[in-house]
Amino acid sequence: MAKAVQKYPHSMLSHLQQDINRLFEPFGWATGGELWDAFSSEWSPHIDIKDEGQNYLICADIPGVDPKKIQVSMENNILTIKGERETEAKEKSEGYLRIERTKGAFLRQFTLPESVDAESIKAKSKHGVLEITIPKAQPPRTKKIEIEEQE
């Protein structure tokens, strides 16, 4: 059986992350997902985050990813984007000289401010770009309370 042309180096860093997590587990410490999530798989989508005033907008480049294979969730103010890009295995014997497009699962996590409206988050995918709109929660309004006079 022919060997694949190139293995992407991020998997080595994934092993390092697992070792560091095991080291700190007995102390109850957790390493930040934001630091390591980009290295936890063979590839990771590039992300832009923009403050649009009323909303935060996250755009992720996900070329070749079936939107049905993507999950977006929010728990404890952590937005998680995970999915998988599937491609056929390419072997050196098939004539490839260079292979850079990788396949595999990915996971990205972002800690959001508490002042977001988690129930109104929307996501859409078009032309290989995932757009996630996260509305900011409306600040509580000041209510004037009338004082009743008692005699």
Most confident among 1-5, 38-42, 104-108 (mean pLDDT) = 104-108
| pLDDT tens profile 83-128 | 988 876 666 667 877 777 778 889 999 888 888 999 999 999 999 9
Give one DSSP letter per residue of 93-134, joined into a string.
GGT-S------EEEEEEEEPPS-B-GGG-EEEEETTEEEEEE
| pLDDT tens profile 23-39 | 665 554 444 444 444 45
Domains of the chain, first to last: 10-135 (2.60.40.790)
**Closest C-alpha among 52, 6, 13 to residue 35:** 13
Average pLDDT, the chain: 79
Output the pTM of the full model: 0.64
Q: Given this model, what pLDDT does residue 93 score?
A: 64
